[in-house]
Each structure stands twice: as structure tokens, then as C-alpha cells.
Amino acid sequence: MELLRQKVMNEGIVLGPGVLKVDSFLNHQMDPFLMREVGHEFTRRFAGEAVTKVLTIESSGIAPGIMTALALEVPLIFARKQKSLTLTEDIYVEKVYSFTKKETNEITVARKFIAPGERVLIIDDFLANGEAAFGLARIVEQAGGSVAGIGIVIEKAFQPGGRLLKEAGYRVESLVRIASLENGIVTFAED
């Protein structure tokens, strides 16, 4: 996606090691026009997948998630991140290790929002090791739903998440793929 690629090139800041900061259009300030295009692009790519809900994780997945859900005309659910939980009867819980924060969070989704048979499209802002996407997929499957696909705004292809998710049988669509952030320079992977 050319517009996104330009944004990453012009505004992305490489924070060592292997972390890209995009807080001018995705992670803090958000660009609604870009997010609208992101929503349309995911909708185009997953058009044949009979998606019934979009699932993401707070907070940076919500903007691309809601724009995709709007374009697909389905609801968006965002998983919450919580440190420790006591009451877990009405929720699905999965542990997810955060690559950027170096800590494990429990992510939760209320059981009532995913019905058996649901076709759920998972959306996230970044893909690194695949922890977040795998955690969300496990929740969908616990609920008796199926993963319609995984849509990623920025995949860091030098980390193993994309490969691991594909090996596990998921369809992964990334709008831009980064081959390297070495020496502070963003190099894109040519697909």
C-alpha cells in the first residue's frame, strides 16, 4: 500500500533494537484518512472470507480495526489487556507476551461477543513475533469461531511472526512488510 509505505518512510522513527515508532499517524496521533484507506484495503483483501466480526487488541489496533469493521459492515471487538484477573467466568483469557513492553499481559474478551460459528478477522497494527495474533486466534477458537484471516498494518518480516502464523495455517495479509531496521534505516521487503 503505497500511501502507508510513504508514511512509514517519511515519519517512522527507528528505536533500537528492532522497534519502529510511528506515533505521528498510528500509535499516538492517528491519521483518519490513512486509517480509512487501511480499512478499505483490508476489506478488499478479505472480501471473500464471509467475515462476521473484526477482533483487535487495545489500544493501537482499534483505529485500523474500526475502519475495517466499518467498511465490512460488521462489529469490532477489542481485546482488553489486564495485569491480573480474579473473576474469569464470563471472559476468555489468554496470556500474551509483549515484544515492546517486555511483559506478559492477560488479554480478555467477553464470552458473549463471540458466538460459535463466527468468522473473525483479526487486525493489528504491528506483527513482530506473532504473540498478540496467536493469542487473539486462540480466543476465537476457544469460542468455537474460526479465524477468517489476519490483517496487519506493518509487518516486521525480519521477526518470525508472519512465518509462524502462516505455518499454523492462517491467512496473513500485511499492508507493508519491513525487511530490516538496521542502522536506523527502514528497508522494505519486496513481495
Residues forming the site for ligand 5GP (CB under 6 A): 19-22, 27, 57, 60, 98-100, 124-132, 156, 161
- Of 20 and 54, the one with the shorter C-beta distance to ligand 5GP is 20
Nearer to ligand 5GP among residue 8 and residue 87 (C-beta) = 8
* Smallest separation, CB 87 to ligand 5GP (Å): 25
> If you search the block for the grid coordinates 489476519, which residue do you land on?
150
Task: Calculate the CA dihedral of residues 173, 41, 123, 177 and round it to 10 degrees.
Answer: 40
Cβ proximity to ligand 5GP: between 22 and 69 the closer is 22
CB of 191 to ligand 5GP, least distance (A): 19
167 half-sphere exposure, CB direction, 13 A CA radius? 6
Radius of gyration of the CA atoms of the chain, in A:
16
Q: What minimum distance in Å lies between the beta carbon of 27 and ligand 5GP?
A: 5
Which residue lies nearer to ligand 5GP by CB, 19 or 30? 19
Strand spans (E) along 99-171: 103-110, 119-127, 146-156
Cβ distance to ligand 5GP smaller for residue 88 or 100: 100
Query: How many Cβ atoms from other residues are within 10 Å of residue 14's Cβ?
Result: 17
Give the pairing type, strands 103-110 and 91-98. antiparallel
Segment (H or E) for 96: strand 91-98
Please report how close the Cβ of residue 179 comes to ligand 5GP at its closest, in angstroms.
14
Q: Which amino acid is at 150?
A: I
Smallest distance from the beta carbon of 86 to ligand 5GP, in angstroms? 25
